Structure 1
């Protein structure tokens, strides 16, 4: 996922009848992790989705099991609770951006969590990636509970169409405290592509880099990250149950790459870590990163990313 960094420093959808990655001296931080106890199965009656748009005509936000997972089972990635609906890898044969190499060895399911770590091997950064076998389309809400890695690698949870022309990024963040800017911001954005000849549109600007105004360092703790895809022209982003960004309609596809259709294609869920190529250059004033020598990548513990759960809902 190629990203661009800013210079220094909705149409409403009517549901049924009516509604609603991959490319910055770490100070020790107090351990403030607060991972909750989890049940074997999702108890949807206890899911608080009251912050989402109200549904009419007796519709409710209903969990979609094929693209959701609590990671709360024995047997790791060999368990049927994983292999039935999830692929241990990307949606196709691509192995990651730049020097990233997605590898099954870099992730596991342990103690109710999906856990990633990265290692430097020669001229490659080996990281983890999983993807859902099924794809879903709007209207939908996807939410994850994640503790970012404390490295310059991206921690990412996103969605992509089969033909890789439409992408929605729920979460993309860089947890290394070596960057005061990146450690306090979340990249909340999307892409539309033309593959031949290759063209990539993504909204730019400071509004796509969310900071909460409280100097929160996102890698210090678990947080809930959500994206609401209401219709082809409506994307809203949530952090810990609060809507923090709604993409303007005129920023969905201003170059008409989708021929006026907007975001319509079914998308797979993807959870990944990556050494994103654009961060290797200082051409945009973001500060160049050498992934092969960066201390937050060389220290495996700093590269650990934890995913408590991923949950996808549709109105039914």
Structure 2
């Protein structure tokens, strides 16, 4: 009997110890989240350049910010919970203040069905968008209070929402004429969206606002695919055990953009040429025009192949650019032939874009009721500048 009592006591002590250790292990794990200041930069950037961490623009989201029904700064004043102007979103999107939250680990960008007369703040900039009063999407959006300007490397670690909405991390000038997309991902594999769900769109836009005119590279290389990933929303949701993907851009000069995914260089645009890693090979090429219009091939922007290599080479890209007469950055000179020179705001959001809605690629009520799947999560966001 005495032996049994001793055994029971030891067992109970063991359970208490296990519980204590487990709890402390969890705290330890939280404390050991990636240090965004010291986490290694992509290998391609380790070329002898000395990089300076931009504390005032970077955020590990290891704090809490409760949803608010008014426009509010958060993150020590780095962000506010809306878009950069009064406009409240494209297509059937209605950005709402209270669809933004920070839970101590992640930034949460949420989505739900727009409620019309019962909508949350702010009131709709324009009601019944696309003549779909029951098809609106309330969603979250945040904008930085400070801006970035080249040369600068920007990277985020995000988990795409597993729903037919765009999960976005992007840069935009205050006058909305220059845009660089770090990540644009249409996550959910619902009917009609499986083709888009498998890709991460890495691109940029050069705009004229009046009359509205938009240029963006439309070649096949602007859509990043990964073997084994048939849908980024499904991949990131991972049956509730969220995965994350790192996406970054090095805005090196007004005419030089480098795109990175999970630390790997995947695409470079420079002046009048582009290099993209496709099927394990680097393709170097350049755009062409006929009678003032960009040439197309198989429904996409045509890129004339200059060369193919096993590894990336900037000198090879320069050669391709010198062969070309058409800018890959701004072929119609909407920016006056100067490239991208304006300071850009950082924006992170979910949105329901009009071209998807027109094709009936839009979330159902059931999709929007599933808060686990319909939320975009951001673990961290960081900014570095090369030391001048």
**TM-score range with shorter-chain normalisation?**
0.7 to 0.9
CA displacement at 1:70 relative to structure 2: 0.8
CA–CA separation in structure 2 for the residues paired with 1:134 and 1:53: 24
Could you say what secondary structure the match of 2:45 adopts?
A: coil
2:176–2:207 Cα contact (<8 Å) kept = yes
Deviations 1:239-284 (A, max 9, x none): 11101111353321001101110011110110000011111224xx
CA–CA separation in structure 2 for the residues paired with 1:129 and 1:62: 28
In the alignment, which residue of structure 1 is the partner of 2:110? 117
In the alignment, which residue of structure 1 is the partner of 2:228? 214
1:137–1:265 Cα contact (<8 Å) kept = yes
Could you say what secondary structure the match of 2:335 adopts?
A: coil
CA–CA separation in structure 2 for the residues paired with 1:49 and 1:187: 21
User: Of residues 342, 346, 358 in structure 2, which corresponds to 1:265?
Assistant: 342
Could you say what secondary structure the match of 2:367 adopts?
A: helix
User: Of residues 217, 223, 227 in structure 1, which corresponds to 2:245?
Assistant: 223
CA displacement at 1:98 relative to structure 2: 1.9
In the alignment, which residue of structure 2 is the partner of 1:63? 53
Could you say what secondary structure the match of 1:296 adopts?
A: helix
CA displacement at 1:184 relative to structure 2: 1.5
Deviations 1:141-163 (A, max 9, x none): 11001010000011000000111
Q: What does 1:43-192 correspond to in 2, within 5 Å?
A: 44-45=37-38, 47-54=39-46, 56=48, 59-76=49-66, 82-122=75-115, 123=133, 124-178=136-190, 179-192=193-206
Deviations 1:153-212 (A, max 9, x none): 110000001111100000000111223322211011010111122211111122111102
CA–CA separation in structure 2 for the residues paired with 1:43 and 1:120: 34
Of structures 1 and 2, the one scoring higher in RCO (CA 8 A, sep 6+) is 1
Could you say what secondary structure the match of 1:65 adopts?
A: coil
CA–CA separation in structure 2 for the residues paired with 1:88 and 1:252: 31
CA displacement at 1:102 relative to structure 2: 0.8
1:176–1:296 Cα contact (<8 Å) kept = no
- TM-score of the superposed pair, with normalisation by structure 1: 0.79
CA displacement at 1:136 relative to structure 2: 1.2
Could you say what secondary structure the match of 1:247 adopts?
A: strand
Structure number with bigger Rg? 2
CA–CA separation in structure 2 for the residues paired with 1:176 and 1:154: 9
1:89–1:128 Cα contact (<8 Å) kept = yes
Q: 1:117 to 1:258 in 2, by over 3 A?
A: same
CA displacement at 1:92 relative to structure 2: 1.4
1:38–1:112 Cα contact (<8 Å) kept = no
More helix by share: 2
Q: 1:37 to 1:223 in 2, by over 3 A?
A: farther
Q: Unpaired runs of 5+ in structure 1?
A: 1-35, 283-287
Q: What does 1:295-306 correspond to in 2, within 5 Å?
A: 295-306=366-377
CA–CA separation in structure 2 for the residues paired with 1:38 and 1:308: 14
CA–CA separation in structure 2 for the residues paired with 1:62 and 1:52: 16
- TM-score of the superposed pair, with normalisation by structure 2: 0.65
User: Of residues 277, 294, 310 in structure 1, which corresponds to 2:354?
Assistant: 277
In the alignment, which residue of structure 1 is the partner of 2:262? 240
Deviates more, 1:77-86 or 1:47-56: 77-86
Deviations 1:208-250 (A, max 9, x none): 1110233353222211111111111111111111011113533
Q: 1:38 to 1:147 in 2, by over 3 A?
A: farther
Could you say what secondary structure the match of 1:132 adopts?
A: strand
How many residues are aligned here? 272
Q: Unpaired runs of 5+ in structure 2?
A: 1-28, 116-132, 236-242, 272-326
Query: How big is the alpha-carbon RMSD for the aligned residues of Structure 1 and Structure 2?
Result: 2.3
CA–CA separation in structure 2 for the residues paired with 1:217 and 1:290: 16
